[in-house]
Structure 1
Amino acid sequence: MVRNRTRASGFTLVELLVVIAIIGVLVGLLLPAVQAAREAARRMQCSNNFKQIGLGIHNYHSAYNALPQQAGGTYVDGDWGGSGPGRTTNRFRLSWLPALLPFVEQQGLWEQISNPYNLDMNGNAIDPGFPPMGPAPWGGAYRPWFTEVGTFRCPSDPGRGAPAHGRTNYAACIGDSTDWVNHGYMRHNNGQWVLTPNNGQSANATNRGFFYHRRQLKFRDVLDGLSNTIACGEIATDLGDNAITTNARYGVGWGTIHNNPAHCRDQAGWIDPARPQFWDPDAAGTGSNGLRTGNADWKRGFRWMDTPIIYTGFNCILPPNAEICFGGAGDFDTGACPPSSRHQGGVHVLMGDGAVKFVTDSIDSGNIHNGVVMRGQTGNRAPGSASPYGLWGALSTRGMKEVVNIDDL
């Protein structure tokens, strides 16, 4: 008698394990491609945000025949300003971004800021309230300063929330120097903003960028051509992780930073040799080396409405994604403060003509140990000199007649 043996349908255990292993390998191969595609989409959205900001700058200039002012706002003689209700002035501390709000489809927020505002942080009515154009942009009592504006944020940057106010990932280019670029055209002295011949000469010698603190420029001031001059750049916001690109090192000394913008990287033990994107945590305090980190909210991009370079500015001395090293010990001070991003290998920059370019970390930045151009210096540091910082520095100056090739970006 012959029996017909039929095999049961389905997979054996070995076959099932092989299929699962193959699927696992395929997922492992595919996942990096998916992540890369997502980052490419985020980078494209970041570029689109910058294009919107560029259009906003040009529309603002068409409306007012001037650029939005970095370090503008309101000021009253003898009034030191402040952040609480009842104040009358923001002490010329507003960045270039609030003025752009109506030109980037943020009319509602602009109406809140440009008119008297009589609500507290919980939305309850208060009297007295806040003045038109808001109070000074520090402290925590004025709700509009805590608003996150989508156009001002790069989707690749995960930073959110306290201790920041409203964050920004886009900053103004102030040139290639560290001297007088925080005060700009006027200096605050005993409750007054004053301009003296000495102040003016020092400031004019060093404020060579597309934006100039407390002085409103126009397109006609950009003598090197809008297409050859960086207007704005991308910055990463701080995540509380001791990163060299977002957590400034304060108080190294003004003479030190003017004479060697790369001072912080020259100090043994300041940057973690095993993780060069971060400061060495053993050197993060206020020890004998003078290395200080500042207050919890003195971090990169933490206030989109505030003027100091740590929040809404940068200079083109050190290359993109390099360390931040400040001469002074406060958030209003400055130093070597390059742009940065969460994108791999570089940052977006907005040119004066509205074009968005991607600048790599390896861009020619000349001799970063060379002292900055400033009044009282000679040689390649004398006022009116070409930038000592290569193509990178040349792109940041608005009228030094450097010959640049934009295709090198």
Structure 2
Amino acid sequence: MIEVLVVLGIVFVALALFLPKARDLRGLADSMKCRNNFKGILLGILKFESNSSPNEPLKGWFPTGCIGPGTNPEDCLSWMVSILPYVEEGNLYKQLDCNKDFANNQSLLDVSILSYVCPSNNRKTESPISTNYIAMAGLGLDAPGRLAGAWGNGFMGYDRLTSFESITDGISNTIAVMEIHTKLEHWARGGPSNLRGFDPTDLPLTGERRPFYTHESRMLVGKLDGSVREISANFDPTVLAAAITIAGAERERWGSSW
């Protein structure tokens, strides 16, 4: 009996020592997979800009936040639909009718796209068809609906077209995509599901019901040159705001902090 208790005690001690390390390893694996998701999405955006397709004939422009018909952004298809051919989901894209709205394509779109979901969230997801990744529309909650050339614009809006030439701050200085873990919505629906403005006064940046998600106290951000960077949860929100805009000429002010 004593021997059994000793063995059980050793097992419990071993588990107590192992579980935190296992959680750390899982967190590291999730972060690496999330980084790969970012890279895939960014590459899809860049490939869209350099290619044309039957339903998206424009070439030399980044995707708009909404495609297809719809009275409201939420009625439309999203930019994540536009880049499907470039994130290894070409077969799904071919089945869609981008001349119809979200509702009339939804039966095909109610599927989970693994590269659009952070693995950390996949275990506690609000919906298997939601996304954790949002394109950054610029500064202010009204940023997605603003016209081209407005102050504070990011690289994407609901309807506005943006080219490399429009991004005078430079693509290596411009954040295109960030990660959220609250208010998750359908990846294929237009609107705030995957395109949002940034309010630098809405602090803190991370935490329970806050705008952005962290992996071990670090946020991942995807830049328009295709690179992914880690920044602190305490990153200066004014610097972040500058990096989200495309034509603010703030490079000298924030570049040393980047």
TM category, shorter: 0.7 to 0.9
Q: Secondary structure at the match of 1:205?
A: coil
Q: Tell me, yes or no, if the aligned pair for 1:174 and 1:210 is still in contact at 8 Å.
A: yes
Counterpart amino acid of residue 169 in structure 1: N
Q: Tell me, yes or no, if the aligned pair for 2:74 and 2:189 is still in contact at 8 Å.
A: no
Q: Which residue of 1 aligns with 2:225?
A: 353
What is the 5 A alignment of 1:54-73? 54-63=42-51, 64-73=59-68
Quote the Cα distance in structure 1 between the aligned partners of 2:37 and 2:224: 15
What is the 5 A alignment of 1:6-21? 13-21=1-9
Quote the Cα distance in structure 2 between the aligned partners of 1:216 and 1:151: 25
1:137-159 deviation line (CA, Å, top 9, x unaligned): 35x98312311111111111034
Q: Which residue of 2 aligns with 1:198?
A: none
Q: Secondary structure at the match of 1:343?
A: coil
1:40-79 deviation line (CA, Å, top 9, x unaligned): 101101100111111111111111211011123236xxxx
Q: Which residue of 2 aligns with 1:312?
A: 194
- In structure 2, runs of 5+ residues without a counterpart are 52-58
Q: Which residue of 2 aligns with 1:155?
A: 119
Bigger share in helix = 2
Q: 2:15 aligns with which of 11, 18, 27?
A: 27
Quote the Cα distance in structure 2 between the aligned partners of 1:398 and 1:357: 18
- In structure 1, runs of 5+ residues without a counterpart are 1-12, 82-89, 114-131, 186-202, 237-245, 247-299, 325-337, 366-389
What is the 5 A alignment of 1:59-98? 59-63=47-51, 64-74=59-69, 80=71, 93-98=76-81
Q: How many residues align structurally? A: 246
1:217 to 2:212 alignment: no
Q: Secondary structure at the match of 1:359?
A: strand
Which has the higher Rg, Structure 1 or Structure 2?
Answer: 1
Q: Tell me, yes or no, if the aligned pair for 2:214 and 2:220 is still in contact at 8 Å.
A: no
Quote the Cα distance in structure 1 between the aligned partners of 2:230 and 2:124: 22
| Cα 1:61–1:141 shift into 2, 3 Å | closer
Q: Which residue of 1 aligns with 2:56?
A: none
Q: Secondary structure at the match of 1:209?
A: coil
Q: Which residue of 2 aligns with 1:121?
A: none
Q: Which residue of 2 aligns with 1:183?
A: 145
Q: Which residue of 2 aligns with 1:101?
A: 84
Q: Which residue of 2 aligns with 1:208?
A: 153
Q: Which residue of 1 aligns with 2:35?
A: 47
Q: Which residue of 2 aligns with 1:393?
A: 241
Counterpart amino acid of residue 106 in structure 1: E
Q: Tell me, yes or no, if the aligned pair for 1:320 and 1:347 is still in contact at 8 Å.
A: no
Counterpart amino acid of residue 244 in structure 2: S
Q: Tell me, yes or no, if the aligned pair for 1:156 and 1:342 is still in contact at 8 Å.
A: no
Counterpart amino acid of residue 174 in structure 1: A
1:362 to 2:234 alignment: yes
Q: Tell me, yes or no, if the aligned pair for 1:69 and 1:96 is still in contact at 8 Å.
A: yes
Q: Secondary structure at the match of 2:229?
A: strand
Tell me the TM-score normalized by structure 2: 0.84
Higher relative contact order (CA 8 A, sep 6+): 2
| Cα 1:165–1:30 shift into 2, 3 Å | closer
Q: Tell me, yes or no, if the aligned pair for 1:49 and 1:151 is still in contact at 8 Å.
A: yes
Quote the Cα distance in structure 2 between the aligned partners of 1:91 and 1:39: 33
Please, what is the CA RMSD of the aligned residues?
2.7
Quote the Cα distance in structure 1 between the aligned partners of 2:205 and 2:195: 13
Tell me the TM-score normalized by structure 1: 0.55
Counterpart amino acid of residue 169 in structure 2: D
Quote the Cα distance in structure 2 between the aligned partners of 1:232 and 1:92: 22
Q: Secondary structure at the match of 2:79?
A: coil
Percent identical pairs in the alignment equals 29
| Cα 1:404–1:26 shift into 2, 3 Å | farther
Q: Tell me, yes or no, if the aligned pair for 2:35 and 2:228 is still in contact at 8 Å.
A: yes
**Distance apart, 1:342 and its partner CA:** 5.9
Quote the Cα distance in structure 2 between the aligned partners of 1:18 and 1:92: 64
1:235 to 2:199 alignment: no
Q: Secondary structure at the match of 1:137?
A: coil
| Cα 1:228–1:62 shift into 2, 3 Å | same
Q: Tell me, yes or no, if the aligned pair for 2:48 and 2:83 is still in contact at 8 Å.
A: yes
